[in-house]
Each structure stands twice: as C-alpha cells, then as structure tokens.
Chain A
C-alpha cells in the first residue's frame, strides 16, 4: 500500500509539501487568533509608543540641525516649502475654477451664436438703408451749400461801394528799433552794486 493517511509514499516531496501546508495552516489559524486578542492590540500600541518616545528626541535634533544648516546655506526649510506647496495648490484650485468659467462662457457663447448672427445681419441691413438715406441727404446739402455761396457773392457785389482812385505810393516806414536802455535810477544802481558779489 503506497497510500497512508492521505500521503502518497511514492511521492516524498509531495508529502513534505502536504506536511508543510498542514503545519502552516495550523500556524496561520493560531496567529490569526493571536492578533485578534486584546493582549496583541496592547502590545502593538506599546511598541508604537516606545518607538515614538525613542525616535522623538532624535527627530527633533535632526529637524533643528537641518533647519540651521539650510538657513546658513540660504536655502528654504521643509516648512517653508510646505507652505509654498500649499499656496501653489490653492492657486491651482483657482485656475481650475477659472478654467471651468472660461469653458462655461465658451459654451454660453456657442449656444448664443445663431441668435447673435441673426441680430448682426439685421443690424447690417438697417445700416445699409440708413447709408442710402444719408448719401441722398448729403448731396442735397451740398447743392444747397453751393447755392448759398452764390447768393452771398451776389449780395456782397451789390453792397460794395464804388472803388476809389488808387492813391500815390507811400514811403515805406523804417523798421522799429529797440530803444536804448534808460540809465538806472540811483536806487537801482545801489542795489546792483549790492548783489554784484554773488
């Protein structure tokens, strides 16, 4: 008989595996039960606490020396970079909001486009009519202007007195010269003398 208690005597490696798996299963179940106990939970908590207590002074020391070194090297500290990163995220959020608003505007504009095109066409047609009317008025005004000019010239001719005979040619005046300066008064002369030294 090569089969005994589920073990195949012809397969020693297979048997070893089966034994291993059976052991592991038992071990696994025991461990699952163990981690599910209050004692284990207390142990995990205590381990974490001791780790925190042990590492806190070292971490403080590292943080302080790092801050000092970075400050000496004129470089930003971790806290400063963290603050900066948070500010950048806030800006990103605002940009995201703006992006959405631009999109919404774009959508609204696209939705309104047919209405706008129609309104524009109507306005252009109206402008065309007004242009024609304006051109007519302009030519009539120009005609009226021309006639008014003619009338004015006639009136001027009628009102003008007969032209007198031409007078003999006058001698041309010599150009005005700048008069010579008057001599200063005694008071002015005195003042001039007083400021002469400056």
Chain B
C-alpha cells in the first residue's frame, strides 16, 4: 500500500520514509560484518601482488624486477625504473591487483624495475640526498643495466623520488638516461605563499630541526604521517572514516579503502641528514632551483638534464602544489619536453580508481614511442 503526501497530513510519504529507513537498516546489517572485521584487524589488504624478484640489494635498498607478462613481440626494449619518495613505501606503485600501475605497465610490455629504499635504521641517520641520488641510485641503475643488457633506460620518479631522479639526471646526464618522467616533483620552493602550510611549519623560528634529529636520529615516520594528515585535518582524521562507514556494504570500496589505509599507515623514518637537507636546503633556501645545491662538491645544475622529459602535475595536489613542479621545464636542456596537468591529488592521480583510464594510458602513450 502506498500513500502520497497529498493524502497524508505530513509533508512526506510515511511509506517511502519507512522503506528508506528499512533499506538503511538492511545496509547497516550488511556492513556490520565488514565493519567488525576491519575494526578488529581480521582483514588485511593484499598489497604489492605483482610477481617480482629482488635482483640487487645494498644496505636497506632493494632493486626489484617485475616478471614480464606481455608477449615477446609486444615488449619494449628500454627498461623502466621506478623511484619512489623517501617517505612511505613504494608499493603504492603496485597497490592492489587491478589498481596497480606496475601491473598495468608490465602488461603493456615494459621491463619494469623498482627501487625500494627500505626503512632507515639508526645506523642510516647520516644518509643524505647525495648518498641516495649519487651512490645508491647509480649502483641500482648499474645493476639494472647489467641485468637487462641495455644501456638506455627510462626513469619515473614520484614526489621526493622525482627530486632524486632530477638530481641524478642533472649529475649523470651521460649514463644512459633516455626518458625522465617526473610525477608531482618538489623542485621549486620559491613561491612560499602558494605552497600550503609546510613552509610556515618548517620555518627556522618554529621548527628546530637539529634539536629534533639530535634526539631521534632519523625523522620518525609517525611524525611525517601526523604532518601530512594535519594539512587537511578534517578530511584525513574524520572524513576518511565516514566515507568508509557509508560504503561498508560495498566490498570493492572497502578493499580499495583498506589498501590505501594500509599504505598510508605504513610509514618509514626519513634518514636524519636527508631530512635536514629537505628542510634547510630545499624548503628554506630553495637551493636546487637556485643552482646552489652542492652534492659531492659539485652544484646540481638542472640545465644539465638532457633526457626526454615528461613533467606531470596534479592540479589539486596539497602536498606538492603545482607551483613547485611547473617551473622545471624552463630550466632543463632537454630538446624533447612536455608537461601535463591532471585533475587529482598527490596520491590519487596515480593510485586512485580513475588512474587506469586517466594518467596511466598517458604515461604509456608518451613512453611507448620512446622505449623502442
């Protein structure tokens, strides 16, 4: 039996209201089980599932090679090396089956390698950007070149991984780097007004980096996590969980949420000396863009980058806003350079559900022609 507002004294239809309430109760019933499992930690997200092997290791750094999946005739000659940030773990490139950039690229025929920096221990607190970009990265690349028998290679760096990749490209332009992809790269720290809260928080007046590192050695992963979450406190600390609560009856969304939450909570410490460089040399003094960042006695000159360059910017990036990435294009000497601005945030642009139809095919299209 149905009624209409016209036939009832109420401004609504009680039957419809009852139906909607019943649907909500039913949804809560379905969601209850999933909610209890997540809350009790009984379900864990399966992350980093693409088959791989470790082909080289040094200290905590491991170089992985992903098994090829494409038919031989479809495979690309030039290998692709992925470099992630020194914050969090690099399996964001391979978050979950169906939502993995690595899986996608392997299926397109790329020979994919990944540098995992590992979690620095107290013995690694002296490691600097110099060590990562000019010691560990070149060694990993040397191993990759020997393994695949190719001198030319492509490199994709994401976030601080892109800064490391840019430094490598500038300091070793003749070591085989053919294609460079920078994804949300923090390079230019000059426009402090448009860079969000980080430049304010990290000011010399408020943030005593030396006192912190003296006590902690490395910069703790938990502090990085809190710092990132404080950029958007309500969204990160409340909104995220409400979104899960609203979708607990949808296993697909729950799985996706759990995978992302696993990655976000899986932080690693930032090597002390490198973190000091990030705060002082980059955030405060903008040395990379000014050409005054010294590494092993030599200034890093972005003008020395000669490789083909694809610079990718996330329009809604609140961690590395566009102004930090877009100016590099004017500095490099690359004859072949392109910039694309994608809708999305710092992580969502690459690991969100829309990436498979959005950014990934664009990277493939640009890199495919340059990898034969």
Contacts and interface: CB of A to CB of B under 8 A. Distances in A.
A70 B46 CA distance: 40
B20 A10 contact: yes
A112 B156 CA distance: 36
Contacts of B215: 52, 55-56, 59
Interface string B1-35: 00001000001110011001100100000000000
Greatest chain B CB density within 10 A among A10, A27, A52 is at A10
Contacts of A20: 242
Interface string B107-150: 00000000000000111001000000001000100100010000
A51 to B, nearest CB: 9
Interface string B237-249: 0110010001000
Interface residues of B, number: 41
Given A13-B24, A36-B200, A24 B239 contact: yes
B234 A2 contact: no
Contacts of B206: 41-42, 44-46
B197 interface: yes
Interface string A1-34: 1101000011111100100100010011001100
Tell me if A's interface is mostly helix, strand, loop or mixed.
helix
B196 A2 contact: no
B58 A100 contact: no
Interface string A58-98: 01000000000000000000100111011001001100100
A103 interface: yes
Contacts of A49: 208, 211
Contacts of B242: 20, 24
A85 B121 contact: yes
B17 A38 contact: no
Greatest chain A CB density within 10 A among B5, B206, B212 is at B206
B203 interface: yes
Interface string B191-220: 000001100110101111001100100000
A40 B198 CA distance: 11
Nearest to B23: A13
Contacts of A92: 58-59
Contact of A93 (B13, B58, B196, B230): B58
Contacts of B266: none
B284 to A, nearest CB: 13
A12 B24 CA distance: 10
Contact of B197 (A36, A86, A93): A36
B24 A31 contact: no
Contact of A2 (B5, B203, B207): B5
A48 interface: yes
A59 B59 CA distance: 28
Contacts of B196: 36
Contacts, number: 108
Interface string B55-80: 00011000000000000000000000
A19 to B, nearest CB: 13
A116 interface: no
A176 B68 CA distance: 100
A35 interface: yes
Contacts of B146: 100, 103
Contact of A12 (B5, B20, B231): B20
B232 interface: yes
B201 A44 contact: yes
A147 B58 CA distance: 77
A98 B238 CA distance: 53
Contacts of B203: 41, 45
B257 to A, nearest CB: 17
A45 to B, nearest CB: 3
Contacts of B16: 2, 10-11
Contacts of B197: 35-36, 40-41
A128 to B, nearest CB: 40
Interface of A: 1-2, 4, 9-14, 17, 20, 24, 27-28, 31-32, 35-38, 40-42, 44-46, 48-49, 52, 55-56, 59, 78, 81-83, 85-86, 89, 92-93, 96, 100, 103
12 contacts: A10-B12, A10-B13, A13-B21, A32-B231, A32-B232, A38-B200, A40-B200, A41-B206, A44-B207, A45-B201, A59-B215, A85-B121
The 6 closest A-B pairs by CB, nearest first: A45-B206, A85-B123, A28-B234, A9-B12, A41-B200, A10-B16
